[in-house]
Every structure is written in C-alpha cells, then in structure tokens.
Amino acid sequence: MDTSGSTASSCSLPSYTRSCSSCRLRKVKCDRQQPCVNCTRAGTECVYPPGRGRAPKRSRNALNAQLSERLSKLENIIRSLETESAAVSPHNHDAKARDIDSNPSVEQRLGRLLIDDTRSYYVSNVMWANLGDEIAELRDLLHEPDMEEDQDGIADGSVPARPMPSGSNAAILGFRALAHSLCPYHPPLAQSVNLLEIFKENVAPMVRIFHMPTLIRSHWDAIASLGSLDRNIEALLFAIYYAAVISMDPEQCESTLGVSKAHASEMYLFAVEQALARADLLNTQSLTLMQAAVLFLFALRNEDDSRTVWSLTSLVFHIAQAMGLHRDGIVFGLRPMETELRRRLWWHICLLDARSSEYHGCEPIVRQSSFDTKLPLNIEDSDLSADMIEPPGERNGATGMYFCLIRCEVMRALWNISFVAPNMEAPGYSRGSDRLPLKEREAIVQNLQDRLENQYLKHCDTSKPFFLASTFVARLMVARAWLIARYPLGDKEYGAGLSVPMRDHLFLSSIEVLKLSSLVLTNEQISHWSWHSKTHIQWHAVAFVLSEICSRPRSADCDWAWEYVNTVYDNWKMKESGRKGTLWRPIKRLMAKAQYVRHMQKVNSEGQWDQGNQTGVSSAVISLDMQNGPGAITYPGAVPPDQAYTAASEGLPSDLLMEPLDLFGEFFPGDPLLGGSVEESNDIFEAILHLDDASRIPGWLTPE
C-alpha cells in the first residue's frame, strides 16, 4: 500500500484549535480534523465554531501573584472608604465644595462619569466605583471554566438581546401592546419637513436644548431610514412633531397637516409616549432620549397642567442625575459640544422643575448646592462642532441663547430669595425663620436687575422679534421678582404687617406684571411663541391684584387692573379637562369675589360720585398727618377706602363681609399647618347667578 499519498493528503487537511460542535455536544474527544473521526463514523456534518477558543493556561504562580495584588488593592480601597466615612461632617463637606478648583483629584471629589458614544453613567463615589472594578477583575482572575462552551459566548462577542420596555415604563408612560410598531404614526415626508421647519421657528428658540445643525442632519438621516430607526431617535422625532403641533394655532395646523389640532396633538401625544416607553426611558443613559423627554414635557405643559408634568419632571431629574448631568462636563474632560449640550439640558430640567413646582404650590426639587453644572455659553450653534477640542469663546453681543440665559439668571436669583436650608442659624436670621430678611431679598433682586440690564438687555435689538420677546420676558420676570421679594405669598403672617404705602406699591407692581404678561401674550410680532408664554401664569400678581380689587374703592387703577387680569386669564385658559393645577381653584374663587365686589361697587356708586373723579393709587397723596398716622393714604375727590368699601359692600355674601380677605387661606385651604378652612361656601356662586345683568357673567364663573 502506498502510504506517501495518504500522508500527503492528511497533511493538507486543516487543523482546528477547538472541538467541533458535534463532539462538544456529545462530550467526546475530537481529533480536530476536517472532518473529524467521530463525525465520519457517525455520518454527520462536521462543523467547527468560529473563534480562537480558550486562552492559554496561565501559570499557577503568576495567578497567585495577581490575586495577591488585587486583594491588596481591595484592602486599601476599603480602608480608604472607612477613613472617608469617619471624616465626613457638614463642615468638611462645605470646605470641600468651596475648594473645588484647588483639589487635583477630580474623581475623588466629583465621582466618575462613564461615557460611551451618546450614553453616560455617573457614579457619585469613586471609591465604590473602584471597589466594583477590583471585584470584577478578581472574578475574572478566579474564573477558570472547565468546559469550552463557557468561553464560546465571550469569544463570539454575543450580547443579550435588548428587552422590551419594563413594566414600570408601561405603567408610567402607558405603553400598549397595540403600538408594536410606530411606523404608521410617522408623517409623510412633506409633512415631516414642514413640522421640522415649524419646530425651528416656534419651538427651538424657546427650548434651547439642541445643536440645531446636528439635529437637522439627524432628522434627515432618520426619515430616510424609518425601517431601521434607532428607538432613541424615533422618540426624538415624535417629540419634535408633538411640540410643533402644540406651537401652532388651529388654522395653521389644519392647513399644514389636513387635520384638526386636537386630532394631531392626540395622535402625536400617543406616539411620543409609546416611543419613550419603547426606548426604556426610566433606564436610559442616552442624551438623545433625555432631550426627547424634556422637549415632550415642555410641550405637554401647554395641554395638561395636572400633576403629570410635575411628576414626570421629578423622574427626569433623577434620570439626569444618574447620567451625571448635574456635574459639569468640563471637569471630566468631555468635548466642548457634549459639555454644552449637557449644560443646556440640565438647566432646562431645572426650569421645568421650578415652574411645575410653583404651579402646584410646592418647593422645587433642585437646590443650587446639589449641582455644579455651569450656565450654557453665550454662543451661537454655528460656534460649536463635534470635533472641537477647546471650547469656543463667548460672544459679547446678543445671541440665540439670550432667552434661555435670562430665564436661568432669574431662576438662580429666585432660588436665593425663596429658599434657605431649614434650621439654619446665622447673623440676620430670626430663630425659626427660613426666609432672608427683606433688605437682603431686595438686594438680590436689584443685583439681578442690574445684571440683566448690563449684560443682556442693552444688546437687544427690539426690532427683531426674538430679542423683543427676550426683553419683555426679562422685564416681566424682574417685576415678578420684586413682588416675590416684598410679598412672599406663602408667608401667612407677612401680609398682615404691610403698611398702606407698601400695599400701594405692590399693587402697582402687580399691575405692571400683568401688563407685561398681557404684552407677551398678545403682541403680534411674537405671537408664534405665545404657546410657551401661556404656561407661565403669574399667580402671585393675579392673587394680589384680585385681593386688592376686593378691598379698594373703585378707581381707574382698579379698572386697569381688572382689564389686565381678564386679558391674561383668558389667554392662560386651556381646555377644561387639563386645568387641574393646585392654584386654579383659589384663583377662580378670587375672580368670582372680585367680579361680585365690582358689580356691587357699580350698583352702589351710581350717583354718589363722578366717574371722572374716581382716583386710585396713581393719584393718591401720601399724608404726613399724624392724626391718621405717618404714611396714611388719602384719595382726593373720593371717600376713604374703608367707607367706600363698606358702602359698596351692601348685599355681599356674609362670608365676604364678616371676615377680612385671607389671601393665604385662599391658596392653602384646609391645611392645619398652613391655615385655611376645609369647608368652602358656595354662597358666592349663588349670588353671582342672581346678578341683575346675567349676560355679563363669564362662562368660567359658573359652578362646576
């Protein structure tokens, strides 16, 4: 027999480093030829798995040395944690916070931020992060699988399939099995492009959380490949469509989409909720998905003022913390563009929290001491690019960031005015007080006003709609800040101590707030942004003005105030099903009382004094007559306020006559800690229904 040929043939057969699939399954020794002996005998196909297989065996001495080194590191980390825990105190914590720039170890101070493409994950204590790393590496060293199949998954690089949205997402965002695919909800190409243009014009200037050149490119890439769309991008698309629909008036929506605004908003609301659930919002690390969620909440506030937005904002806030948005990206060495987008997103979350918390009469979640993310830069989007290494320099003049920056500046000032940590005792504070003294509050507002004037408003060209809107909003927010500083609505005892001149000043300040709010809502040049302004209701000014209208004689100032109240109230109104905010009910009650008082004043004042002689605060004379007390106010040509009110009050319901108007009780009814009565009388509504001229009763004053 010629063996040379067979030898040559066997040498040419390929040799494998791993057992074939059949031998591995049967757990028999494989000769690693093609085909192997066992498969040849069994008559089965011989298939070898890809990959190089098990790593070479490590020597036992080398393994022991590595284990000893890892254990030593673990012991050092644990000792460090014990030392750190023992050394922590409030004083030391404050000192570390103040020394943020001098400590060279960023990770030790701020934790660790893990970045992967568009995802991020934040670990607040780097010691625990290091401990986890060391344990994971120890596990790798100790893990010596006996079976080759234990290594196959690692060698193949297989990744477990992404699970469907969890039950928590389904419960919170209303995920439904019917929404297996959202393709039917995507608009046609022409409508998608139109909606993006409307978004750029109506929404993007008010909600500056995107780099618009990047967003536009992402939009075009997405609509060109809807069949293989990333879930995060899909959620962002639907958030853009929903926000664009919300920003349009009904006529524009009908002409653009061919359906009513109610139908379009309902459809895209469903789509964006399903998209957020499908993308697993509650467990996300994606900046894109967070942008979609924040944009969605800004738009949703226009339609629904129930607790939905407030509750979802708190969820988004904690998700943002888990992603490390509350830590400034520059200390972690992030690129300028990512740092800037994270800053914009974080500060808009703070804005959402501030407004939704106020809307429901609660303290905001965000505290200045809980984050170090800097304000966004005063730059244009064209100044940023993804490949930049150094951040761009800020511009000295006006930019598209002005509206956002002005709002953030005001919010920071109001944080300082409205909140002081409980139990803080320092010079200038009374025991048990949690509020800054009046002079300090006024100084904060004055500094804010000067800063806005010098840094922003002097650069605004009000012939351009965006800067006109920025100017209006800046002046409105400063006027509102003065009102909050001088008349804290949540302080029951404060209102009783106001002097007459101070009440007059606050009355005029409140009228100014309502006047500016009316301009923002009704000015034609900025009407395409009114969707955003309608959600910023000036509760403070309305409450004070209505309470003053109920207690002042009829005057030109009261007439103007009443007109402004009605203007802003009509513009603030939304569909009845969505008007569920905590402060709506007391405002409706105050409106009803003021309406009744004005009617009775008109009935009782006919023939008593000339309409032209009625004067108010603007023409009042501050008297120094010690008989009436210093600072007493007189009204030329009119009866004194108390007499005028008594004369005009004949026929008022008893609950308005027997007690002074309790503004605090109106806003916090039934709370034993805050004051107010649980029982509410409906007498006021009964009286309104029997007015002589029933045609003047607005529809919203009828009992619910």
Residue 531 lies in a domain: yes
Torsions phi, psi of 14, nearest 5? -70, 145
Q: List, in sequence order, every beta strand (DSSP E) within 554-642.
A: 621-623, 632-634
Indicate if 477 and 491 belong to the same structural domain: no
Work out how many domains the chain is built from and give that number: 5
CB-based contact 18:49 (threshold 8 Å): yes
Residue 163 lies in a domain: no
Residue 7 lies in a domain: no
What is the predicted pLDDT for the residue at 144? 43
3-state secondary structure of 671: strand
Indicate if 631 and 697 belong to the same structural domain: yes
What is the predicted pLDDT for the residue at 167? 58
Residues 6+ apart with CB under 8 A from 26: 38
Indicate if 678 and 697 belong to the same structural domain: yes
Cβ count within 10 A of residue 536: 20
Residues 6+ apart with CB under 8 A from 555: 614, 615, 616, 617, 635, 638
Residue 44's identity, in one-letter code, is T
Q: Tokens in use for 701?
A: 């004053």
What is the DSSP code string of 578-591? G---TTHHHHHHHH
Residue 303 lies in a domain: yes
Say whether the peptide bond before residue 35 is cis (omega within 30 degrees of 0): yes
CB-based contact 34:48 (threshold 8 Å): yes
- Dmax (CA) for the chain in angstroms is 140
- Among residues 372, 375, 376, 289, which one has the least CA distance to residue 326? 372
Indicate if 208 and 237 belong to the same structural domain: yes
What is the DSSP code string of 593-620? HHHHHHHHHHHHHTTTS-GGG---GGG-
Last residue of a domain, one of 129, 156, 183: 156
Residue 93 lies in a domain: no
> CATH number for the domain including 35?
4.10.240.10
Torsions phi, psi of 208, nearest 5? -90, 70
- Among residues 518, 536, 515, 529, which one has the least CA distance to residue 581? 536
What is the predicted pLDDT for the residue at 331? 85
What is the predicted pLDDT for the residue at 117? 59
Residue 41 lies in domain: 13-49
- CA–CA separation, 11 vs 34, rounded Å? 11
Residue 6 lies in a domain: no
Indicate if 297 and 354 belong to the same structural domain: yes
Residues forming a β-bridge with 286: 119
CB-based contact 209:348 (threshold 8 Å): yes
Indicate if 135 and 213 belong to the same structural domain: no
Residue 165 lies in a domain: no
Residues forming a β-bridge with 120: 115
Rounded to whole angstroms, what are the CA distances from 576 to 303, 312, 581, 588? 10, 21, 11, 13
Indicate if 286 and 212 belong to the same structural domain: yes
Indicate if 471 and 500 belong to the same structural domain: no
- CA–CA separation, 275 vs 242, rounded Å? 12
- Among residues 1, 95, 380, which one has the least CA distance to residue 210? 380
3-state secondary structure of 627: coil
- Among residues 208, 206, 282, 268, which one has the least CA distance to residue 239? 268
Between strands 621-623 and 632-634, the pairing is: antiparallel
- CA–CA separation, 352 vs 361, rounded Å? 14
Residue 4 lies in a domain: no
Rounded to whole angstroms, what are the CA distances from 240 to 90, 197, 313, 342, 656? 44, 10, 18, 19, 49
Indicate if 481 and 514 belong to the same structural domain: no
Indicate if 127 and 20 belong to the same structural domain: no
CB-based contact 479:509 (threshold 8 Å): yes
Between strands 119-123 and 621-623, the pairing is: unpaired
Indicate if 678 and 529 belong to the same structural domain: yes
Torsions phi, psi of 107, nearest 5? -60, -40
The low-confidence residues of the chain, meaning pLDDT below 70, are: 1-15, 51-67, 70-71, 73-171, 174-179, 305-306, 419-434, 489-497, 573-583, 605-704
Residue listed under structure tokens 């490590």: 58
Kindly compute the dihedral angle of the four CA atoms of residues 100, 435, 365, 320, in this order, to the nearest 10 degrees.
-20
- CA–CA separation, 240 vs 204, rounded Å? 10
Last residue of a domain, one of 486, 502, 529: 486
Indicate if 524 and 665 belong to the same structural domain: yes
